[in-house]
Structure 1
Amino acid sequence: MSRGFVKEDDQEEIPFIPPRADLPEGTPNYVTPAGMEELLAERTALTEEREGLQAETEKDRRIGQNMIDLKLKQLNERINSARVVEKVVEPVETVRFGTEVSLKIGNADRPQNFRIVGVDEADIKKGKIAFTSPLAKLLMHQEKGKKVTLALPGGERTFEILEIRA
């Protein structure tokens, strides 16, 4: 039917849902056990939100449900593709997925700690970096005492591995 014969009020825009964290094509969706629990809890929360959704009009309710449905679709795709990597046990000789690494960055006095996790659980404020990040890729399979250099737009930065923990 031509748009000329449809009332404008009947037109609903498809809501824009920002994509989840980038996972390069062909890259396995590794997650830690805690990361999988977070994904499942997120799905439960979204399902409960959808069931309890209230809106002033039927149109607002449909738009709200569509937004939640799209978020659930993206989330379910991630959950279905997830490969849970069990926690590494001590002793840890090299940096691997799920390990925490203590780094000396450049000439800094204090070390910083980072855990290498899945893309959906990455949160730099919590010291969690995605295994797909340039830093994590450089650190993977390196041993304590090793120095790696990351090329950045403003120059290079050196990271020394001080400690590796499960």
Structure 2
Amino acid sequence: MDKIPMTPSGHKTLSEEYRRRTSEERPKIIADISEARAHGDLSENAEYHAAKEQQSLNEGRIKELEALLALADIIDITKLSGSTIKFGATVKLVDEDTEAEKQYQIVGDAEADLSKGRISISSPIARAMIGKEAGDSVEVAAPGGAKTYEILDVKFV
């Protein structure tokens, strides 16, 4: 399988979630199952079924985190430089229609969070920006129609 590009902070966040799920949530869920089992008839025990479902969801996420962490290719963006947009770049751009300025950091799929201004390298806007420089225009196919942005600044922080 291919490596998954990831920033050091993204790797740290996923590692912390893995630690929390395995050492805190897993034992709590096991205790909840034991307590619910002690209530008797399991066929009509809603607490038991809820705890088992929670266990299934937690174990699924643990497996997902194990795979992500095993395939992580940690890229230290503080060592990156240049004027072209690539993984790790923080890009300031302006919507040519509305004049609204936005700033995004291009990160791996697993750590993307639009509310924090972190977009996935595989997102349409990031793919359109890769290889471009400040001053270039990019057109992005969006659900509401094509959007055009002008790249104002590219930096690696």
TM-score (norm 2): 0.80
Q: Runs of 5+ in structure 2 lacking a partner?
A: 43-47
- Give CA deviations for 1:24-77 in whole Å, capped at 9, x if unaligned: xx6541111111001101101111111233324136354433332221111101
The 3 A distance-change label for structure 1 pair 107 and 64 is closer
State whether structure 2 residue 27 is matched by structure 1 residue 51.
yes
Question: 2:2·2:71 contact (CA, 8 Å) conserved in 1?
Answer: no
Q: Distance in 2 between matches of 1:68 and 1:90?
A: 36
Are positions 1:83 and 2:83 aligned together?
no
- The percent identity for this pair of structures is 30
Q: Could you tell me how far apart the structure 2 residues matched to 1:136 and 1:51 are? A: 40
TM-score by length of 1: 0.76
* Runs of 4+ residues over 2 Å off in structure 1: 58-67, 88-92, 106-110, 151-155
Q: Aligned partners of 2:132, 2:3: CA distance in 1, in Å?
A: 21
* Contact 1:96–1:141 (CA under 8 A) maintained in structure 2: yes
Residue 121 (structure 1) aligns with: 111
- SS of 1:71's equivalent? helix
Greater shift in the superposed pair: 38-47 or 84-93? 84-93
SS in 2 for 1:143: coil
Paired residues, number? 141
145 and 109 in structure 1: CA distance in 2 versus 1, 3 angstrom threshold: same
Q: Which residue of 1 aligns with 2:134?
A: 144
Distance 1:142 1:88 in 2: 20
What displacement does 1:90 show? 6.6
* Shift, 1:105, TM fit: 1.1
Find the residue that maps to 1:52 and give its secondary structure.
helix
Say if 1:150 and 1:156, in contact at 8 Å, map to a contact too: yes
CA distance in 2, matches of 1:148, 1:109: 14
State the alpha-carbon separation in 2 of the partners of residues 153 and 66 from structure 1.
35
Q: Which residue of 2 aligns with 1:66?
A: 56
1:142 counterpart SS class: coil
